[in-house]
Amino acid sequence: MKLSPTGGLGAAAPLVFLLLFFYLPLGLVLGEVVRGGGSLILEVLSQPYYQKILRFTLFQAGVSTIFALMLGLPGGYLLGRFRFPGRNVVKSLSTLPFVLPSILVVLGFVLFFGNNGALNRFLAATFRTSEPPLKILYSFKAIILAHGFYNFPIIMRLTSPAWMNLPANQINAARSLGAPPFRLFRTVTLPHLIPALLASASLVFLFCFMSFAIILVLGGGPQFSTLEVEVYRLAKFTLDLPAAAVLGLTGTVITLAFLYLNITLEKRGSALLNRTGAALPLRDLILRERGRKLRPRGVVLGAYLLVTGIILLGPLLAVVINSLQIKTGWGAGPEWSLKWYVQLFQNRSGTPGAAGAPGGPVSLEALKNSLTFALGAVALGVPLGTILALWTHRKEGPSRLRRPVELLFMLPLGVSPVILGLGYLKLLPRLPESFRHGGLLITGAHAVIAYPFVIRSVSASLHRVSPGLRRAAASLGASPGRILFTVDLPLIKAGIFSGAAFVFALSLGEINATILLARSGQTTLPLAIYRLIGAYNFHGACALGTVLLLLCGAAFIIIDKFEEALP
């Protein structure tokens, strides 16, 4: 294939953007470490405190992943092997963790599982105890539970295609050769599932390793600090940038290793799915047999659906309900009211908000900022991701350069937002005066963090555009430009829309990089919610959280509509 002018140009513009907004800041962090030399690295990494943090970061990510696997694997099996009413809803909901802002998870967790939360009140009323039966907030348990509850749908979603595409012929062959069920599972089913299983586990590990808001709030203090949170503390409060850089790079090396593992495993998994031929058909999930006897498997899986549904949606529901209720007095029941919303968006003059809480115009400003950053991130990230997806898919350019360049495009997936924020902080004083406005950097950071999701969704829809269609268009006299606009773009429209919704939702919920970069007047919805939680103004946080939830919910619905449907 010849190198077309669009191919060359197409790769150049994104490369320049990535150089400025990703590689330059990352390089500055790296430069800081290199300047300090081996002695700096040794000095930081030999401190028992930092060693403890590194160990704890790995440990909590590992335990969280195992917990998420325990919760998510039955779901993958259920979704991949059975037909049942509401299957499509469950399938859609499994995308939720990708778009749900972590600050909402935190808020919902506190309201639902907290000492005075919905679950405890329910249990206390049922078992008539005066003490809250579950005390899990602000502890190691809270971190693990929140990570597990937040991430298990990812395991569910990524393993279900492997279950769905179990090779019917191989299984029938093994059966006809006399393999008993366990041997069948061990020799055919399990080898088929393992790549998807490990790929999903490595992704969840990556997410838990880079987790920020959950650790910051639910960890409840320095004894449960991770690399991410520590880098944030060092950069924002201690102002020890060299130490932050060393810790940040250490984390980056680890996350990149897991990213590499994930990409490799995912490739192997999808290669396996393409090779297997006819898939085993889905079965109906039957609760009762005709003789009205309960089927144990049906009952267990049904109960699983109920419990995980409550775990996933209960906290979000608690946020919405709390935002609409006021307590009228001790002992009296709650009343429905829009008071919190009114207070949030009302002019501050007249009603002084609760201690330190951003009342009035600050909330309005946060909403405005969040929308501005999100739309800016969409405007930057969607063309970026789309061009890169097209470039990778068409395999344009000299083949020797292609793989390294592709790698350069994917690298941002494995670098945590906090490290990126740290790099931007170092970039800031070097920028000309007119560029120092933090808004541009926040928008850029959001675009860099989210564009790999555009590549993902656009690539998925590009797989349906066979190269034959482009050849057909060319043979009918269409120039490369006309082919792009009349063949490629119409066919990948769905992928672009769902990618845009991803960028929008991720930017709205982003807190890790924003918290480092935002100056006064640049508060976003998650930051405002974080501060309201810090001020124990939970009702206000819930009202703002509900606004954020509605916005992300809209994005979620768009994604669900356009997402490449699982067969």
Partner 1 sequence: MNRGLIIENLTYQQEDFFLSLSLSLEEGRFGCLIGPSGCGKTTLLHLIGGFLSSTSGTVRLGGKDISFLDPHRRNLGIVFQDYALFPHLSVKENIAYGLKSRRSLSFDKPQIQERVEELLALVKMEGYEDRKTSSLSGGEQQRIALARALAPRPELLLLDEPLSALDGPLRSQLRKEIRRIQEELGITTLYITHDHEEALTLSDRVFLMHRGALIQEGTPEELYQTPRTLFAGEFLGRSNRLSGEVMGMTCESVEIKTSGGTITLRNPGEKDILYNRGDRGVLFFRPEDLQVVRKFREDSGLLRGEIKTVEYYGAQYLAEAAMGEERVLVSVPLGESLRKGEEVSLALLPHRGCWFTGRD
395 binds partner 1 (CB under 8 A): no
469 binds partner 1 (CB under 8 A): yes
- Separation of alpha carbons 16 and 295, rounded Å: 60
Binding to partner 1 in span 436-465, by CB under 8 A: 464
Smaller CB separation from partner 1, 263 or 469: 469
Smaller CB separation from partner 1, 24 or 474: 474
* Interacting residue with partner 1 among 8, 133, 281, 490 (CB under 8 A): 490
2 binds partner 1 (CB under 8 A): yes
468 binds partner 1 (CB under 8 A): yes
5 binds partner 1 (CB under 8 A): no
473 binds partner 1 (CB under 8 A): yes
- Separation of alpha carbons 389 and 392, rounded Å: 5
CB of 488 to partner 1, least distance (A): 11
With contacts defined by CB under 8 A, name the span among 248-256, 336-344, 401-409, 478-486 that binds partner 1.
478-486
175 binds partner 1 (CB under 8 A): no
In DSSP terms, 186 is beta-bridged to none
3 binds partner 1 (CB under 8 A): no
403 binds partner 1 (CB under 8 A): no
What the block records as the tokens of 430 is 């070097």
Q: How many amino acids of this chain bind partner 1 (CB under 8 A)?
A: 21
Smaller CB separation from partner 1, 177 or 476: 476
Q: At 202, which helix (H) or strand (E)?
A: helix 190-209
- Separation of alpha carbons 260 and 256, rounded Å: 6
472 binds partner 1 (CB under 8 A): yes
* Interacting residue with partner 1 among 125, 239, 355, 476 (CB under 8 A): 476
475 binds partner 1 (CB under 8 A): yes
Smaller CB separation from partner 1, 429 or 477: 477
Q: Of 136, 157, 131, which Cα lies nearest the Cα of 146?
A: 136
* Interacting residue with partner 1 among 486, 521, 534, 561 (CB under 8 A): 486
Smaller CB separation from partner 1, 74 or 480: 480
Amino acid of residue 472? A
451 contact partners, CB below 8 Å, separation of at least 6: 380, 381, 382, 384, 385, 388, 412, 503
With contacts defined by CB under 8 A, name the span among 106-114, 175-183, 231-239, 476-484 that binds partner 1.
476-484
With contacts defined by CB under 8 A, name the span among 311-319, 483-491, 513-521, 525-533 that binds partner 1.
483-491
Hunting for tokens 């569910």 — which residue is that?
A: 156
In DSSP terms, 335 is beta-bridged to 326
CB of 494 to partner 1, least distance (A): 10
410 binds partner 1 (CB under 8 A): no
In three state form, how does the secondary structure of 271-322 look?
Answer: HHHHHCCCECCCEECCCECCCCCECHHHHHHHHHHHHHHHHHHHHHHHHHHH
3 state DSSP class of 563: coil
567 binds partner 1 (CB under 8 A): no
58 binds partner 1 (CB under 8 A): no
Please spell the DSSP secondary structure of 221-277, one letter per residue. SGGG--HHHHHHHIIIII--HHHHHHHHHHHHHHHHHHHHHHHHHHHHHHHHHHHS-
- Separation of alpha carbons 427 and 26, rounded Å: 9
Cβ atoms 498, 486 nearer than 8 A: no
535 binds partner 1 (CB under 8 A): no
Binding site for partner 1 (CB under 8 A): 2, 464, 466, 468-469, 471-480, 482-483, 486-487, 490-491
